[in-house]
Amino acid sequence: MSALAPRVVRVALAGNPNSGKTTLFNALTGAHHKVGNYPGVTVEKREGSRVRRGREFRFVDLPGTYSLTAYSLDEVVARDFILDERPDVIVDVLDSTNLERNLYLCLQFQEFGIPVVGALNMSDEAEAKGIEIDAEGLGTVLGLPMVKTVGSRGIGIEELLDAVEARAEGRGTELRMPGYGAELETRIDGLQALLDSDPAFASRHPGRWLAVKLLEKDEHAARIVLGHPRTAEIEETARQSVSWVERHFGKDAEIVVSEQRYGYIRGAVRETVRVVRKPDFSLTESIDKLIMHPFLALPLFAGVLWSVFQLTFLIGQYPMGWLESLFERSGAALGSVLPDGLLRSLVVDGILGGVGGVFSFVPLIVILFFLLSILEDVGYMSRAAFATDRILHTFGLHGQSVLPMILGFGCSVPAILAARTLKSRRDRIATILTIPFMSCGAKLPVYVLLAGAFFPENAANVVMLIYAIGVALSLLSSLLLHSTVLRGEPTPFVLELPPYRAPTLRGVLWHVREKTGQYVKKAGTVILAASVLIWALTAFPARTPAPGEAEYLAALYASEHPRASADQAEAWAETSLATAALEYSAAGRLGKFIEPAFRPLGFDWRVGVATLTGFAAKEVVVSTLGILYRTGLDETEESGTLKEALRADPGFSPLTGFVLMLFTLIIPPCFASLATVRAELGWGWLGFVVAYFLVLGWAIGFAVYQVGNLAGLG
């Protein structure tokens, strides 16, 4: 190891979307990575590490981007990370099947003056298409090492790490800047000389990159120059250079720089890439003739989603039933061992009754994310975006909005963050305001509970209907907002359609682990704390029965039901006392206070309390109902499950259950999502989101319940 070599090598992993960057990141880091946010922004930041030959490689996975012109927020994050953090090496992940477009970003990285390594990823797919790449020759022409990799199979990983290590030590290919022709280079050199004239400024800002950006009339670069001692001279030189370039080429200077970059790339590719003639048959094109058919695309998309939900429930009902039974038996066993009192009530009613109900839905979450991850990795989700582009434009949304919307089926937080890829702020706001209508994984347990309780024969279809209603409401709501507070036309939609690829089991399981881990972590932290809090609200203040009250109630029941046994009368008396104690508690008093606001929707005070707790996290609705409806029930009886307890409540009809599903769908999202909305859009839009979704949820719930009652469905 060189004496000057750093023991910790900081590596920025970058690349175009669909270049296989995430797969390569997983292959490089294995399980040794963590997810957070970039400082000051709520864009997801994935970091990982790998120790090799006594040296640690720390990888930061930058957002996928096509360039560093910094129109979208993801491009801003990638640019600012490189400028501010100055990693030791940049690994640019290149799609080997589409080199010319991918190398555009690579040249921009070289302009920073930081050592770059090119990872020619998916090289197996390039070879299958008859594309032969001379990696060594391409690296020599461009002035950076090129390594062929197949991230999904771990091919080329060791060679890539060797190249990164060599670049960090200053060995190997000499660092060289791309050339853009004598006319541009003369102007770039002049600007760079002025910029580098101040050593303190030059140590913070790469002169070559900044000179090129000034020629491109980049506003961020112009702001950086304000900190230079020779600002006025630099600004005047930049103005004159831009004017000369535009007169000389007869085009906008930014277009000229872009064309010169592509000219440099085409020359390098022509020297080192050879296309061997292959049969004209393309599996991707053949499948797309059906998948992207103008009339069949949308029905196929709906059919795919319907199949996903049917398969999820078909497979998931068995492990879900096993877990429900496990928690039920555990509650009965602990109830028979623990002495009667607060501890028993906390463990059985608070923890098992609350968290246990949420944990039983983990199999459904696993299966749903597994199927959606397969669709994403295969390349179908990009097709879905194109299939829905026309209809989204009709409702005032950008075609690319469908990607955050689909992410919303998993979790609203990353879905809101995904809207950062839209270049227009209006499009970002419109997209973010549609995401709460998407049924995230946290809402699924509520739907499954209520659909299973009141529509057991058609539970999957009812849940699918709620999901479809959410999508329909998002479009109608967008149309309303588009004609009022968000006037304007969506920007044109451009998105790459990647070739179909066989998903890797490792990649799919990684996605499932990430998403399910978030759900389980929430169940073990937020939901556990909320369950204990709800239990405390139901347990205190405690109501002490009057002397002889139980005997009086049993006698009253026996007089009204002459054929009832003594055990039945005693059980009814115990349930009545438990109900009275619940109404006397803090939760009961809160529920009674807010009940008038929820009565028009068909909700009693218990459902009102459950909906309030759902603002923290939607899964808490299930745990709250579990606590409120299980209190006082004999867990050894058949009525011990929550579904059966809901069915046994005369005030909880199938119509009430359907309205509660709708209400859960529409009301403002969880606190974490609201915090993300505030970070992305500010306090004003946060207030709008809370008020808009709360009023809309109540109004739709009211209308459906009242119409249903008039139709005799109550």
Whose CA is closest to 349, among 640, 651, 648?
Answer: 640
How do beta strands 44-52 and 55-61 pair?
antiparallel
Q: Which residue has the tokens 């209006």?
A: 426
Same domain, 15 and 77: yes
Same domain, 12 and 116: yes
Among 19-23, 502-506, 515-519, 610-614, the least confident range: 515-519
Question: Looking at residue 129, which CATH number applies to its domain?
Answer: 3.40.50.300
Same domain, 233 and 308: no
Same domain, 242 and 143: no
Question: For residue 9, what pLDDT band results from cuts at 50, 70 and 90?
Answer: very high
Same domain, 375 and 438: yes
Contact 207, 237 (CB under 8 A): no
**Cβ neighbour number for residue 494 with a 10 Å cutoff:** 9
Among 197-211, 375-389, 558-572, the least confident range: 375-389
pTM: predicted TM-score of the whole model, two decimal places: 0.61
Examine residue 636 and state whether it is found in any structural domain, yes or no: no
Examine residue 656 and state whether it is found in any structural domain, yes or no: no
Same domain, 45 and 121: yes
Q: What is the pLDDT of residues 44-81, one digit of tens each?
A: 568 889 998 889 999 999 888 888 876 677 778 888 88
Residue 190: its pLDDT value, please?
Answer: 93
Same domain, 338 and 467: yes
Examine residue 553 and state whether it is found in any structural domain, yes or no: no
Examine residue 588 and state whether it is found in any structural domain, yes or no: no
Q: How many domains does the chain have?
A: 3
Consecutive H or E run containing 36? strand 33-37
Residue 708: its pLDDT value, please?
Answer: 93
Q: Please report, for residues 469, 498, 530, the alpha-carbon distance to residue 521 in angstroms, rounded to integers and kept in the order given.
A: 29, 33, 13
Task: Sort 286 into a burial class: Cβ within 10 Å, 0-12 / 13-18 / 19+.
Answer: exposed
* Rounded mean pLDDT, 528-551: 82
Out of 482, 503, 522, a domain closes at 482
Examine residue 80 and state whether it is found in any structural domain, yes or no: yes
Q: Is the pLDDT of residue 488 over 70?
A: no
Same domain, 301 and 360: yes
Same domain, 271 and 346: no
Same domain, 335 and 372: yes
Question: Looking at residue 250, which CATH number applies to its domain?
Answer: 1.10.287.1770
Examine residue 699 and state whether it is found in any structural domain, yes or no: no
* Rounded mean pLDDT, 583-597: 89
Beta bridge partners of 47: 34, 60
Per the structure, the complete domain to which residue 222 belongs is given by 182-275
Cα–Cα distance measured from residue 343 to residue 337, given in angstroms and rounded to the nearest whole number: 11
Q: Is the dihedral of CA 323, 325, 329, 331 positive or negative?
A: positive
Same domain, 255 and 194: yes
Examine residue 44 and state whether it is found in any structural domain, yes or no: yes
For residue 671, give the amino acid letter.
Answer: F
Question: For residue 14, what pLDDT band results from cuts at 50, 70 and 90?
Answer: very high
Q: What is the pLDDT of residues 373-401, one digit of tens each?
A: 888 778 787 777 777 777 777 887 876 78
* DSSP of 469-485: HHHHHHHHHHHHHHTTT
Contact 33, 46 (CB under 8 A): yes
Q: Is the pLDDT of residue 284 over 70?
A: no
Same domain, 254 and 129: no
Helix or strand or coil: residue 34?
A: strand
For residue 608, give the amino acid letter.
Answer: G
Contact 669, 412 (CB under 8 A): yes
Q: Is the pLDDT of residue 1 over 50?
A: no
Task: Sort 500 into a burial class: Cβ within 10 Å, 0-12 / 13-18 / 19+.
Answer: middle
Examine residue 515 and state whether it is found in any structural domain, yes or no: no
